[in-house]
Structure 1
């Protein structure tokens, strides 16, 4: 279904390919919509698209990616294709992202910051259940010298 959404929104979209450019454009998008820059693992993204007219965004990877947000102790899975409709401080109708809760993977359908002064970011699932965490838990991870964490082999 998400591939069909991408096809429907490709016309008039900004489309970027290549790991370095996709990383840069993903960071720009997260900054533009005022969400933390560490929300999406940046490695191995092969295509990013953004249709500003509809607010539709997609990211493609060659393979699924699991990432652990150490500051909150959560494992998150990103499918080969992640899609969402974005607006300021919000990603809605999100597809391709799941969080591990106890023994089960739970789909994440909404990510938003209602009140920036609260310092909280909320993740909702399709059943209406949500959970909030500190926004700082999703800051871009840095190594000891202050540089962005490098991928293995660089």
Structure 2
């Protein structure tokens, strides 16, 4: 569904165009609300709009983004257009964000910090489902510190080694995510197969009962 921003709302908004400006505003917005920095891992942002008066924010990216929060063990998908109302410690009236719960995708409408100081982030779905996770599970990883002496041969070698290790770790993480997805797909297939078997068994029982009834009628005649 296309997100239509009324002209009167756009007139009151701060509008940022391009990925760099959109990423920076998203980072600042999460920082100002006190929410974890990795909560909105969007990519190729086209436009970001924010109405300070109401807290309404919208984000448009080139395409949908699927993200796996490894520390929370959750897959989350962000539509090409996402919106919410930002408050201190809370994003409410969210659109365009879904999380995978067991075998189904649920639409999230609110993400907030726990009222008690437990260090938990609470995610609430439209259907009333609520889940709590450690705030650290949604914190973006900090980039590695820059080496001021990187021009020396020794430091260049260390930098290349670190890059190689980072790529290996990224590949390992990607493989782990793929394995998790494959396992979930297998569970979905097994669940679907079990449901089909159950329906098939019920049909066989019904047919068997019909045969018995027909035989009884024939015997009576």
Q: Which category describes the TM-score, using the shorter chain as reference length?
A: 0.7 to 0.9
Quick check: which one's strand share is greater? 1
Deviation at 1:114, TM superposition (A): 2.9
Q: 1:92 corresponds to which residue?
A: 92
Q: How does 1:52-91 map to 2 (within 5 A)?
A: 52-91=52-91
2:35 corresponds to 1:35? yes
Match for residue 152 of structure 1? none
Q: Gaps (5+ residues) in structure 1? A: 150-154
Unpaired stretches in structure 2, ≥5 consecutive residues: 147-165, 167-221
Greater relative contact order, per chain length (Cα 8 Å cut-off, separation 6+): 1
Q: How many residue pairs get matched?
A: 146
Query: How much does 1:15 deviate?
Result: 0.5
SS in 2 for 1:63: coil
5 Å-filtered alignment, 1:1-150, equals 3-4=3-4, 6-7=5-6, 9-115=9-115, 117-142=117-142, 145=144
CA distance in 2, matches of 1:112, 1:131: 11
Q: Using a 3 Å threshold, how does the CA distance of structure 1 residues 42 and 65 change in structure 2: closer, same or farther?
A: closer
Q: What's the offset of the Cα at 1:2?
A: 6.3
- Aligned residues: CA RMSD: 1.9
Moved segments of 4+, more than 6 Å: none
Higher helix fraction (1 or 2): 2
- Per mean C-alpha deviation after superposition, the further-off stretch among 130-139 and 9-18 is 9-18
1:122 CA displacement: 0.3
Q: Is the 8 A contact 2:17 2:47 kept in 1?
A: yes
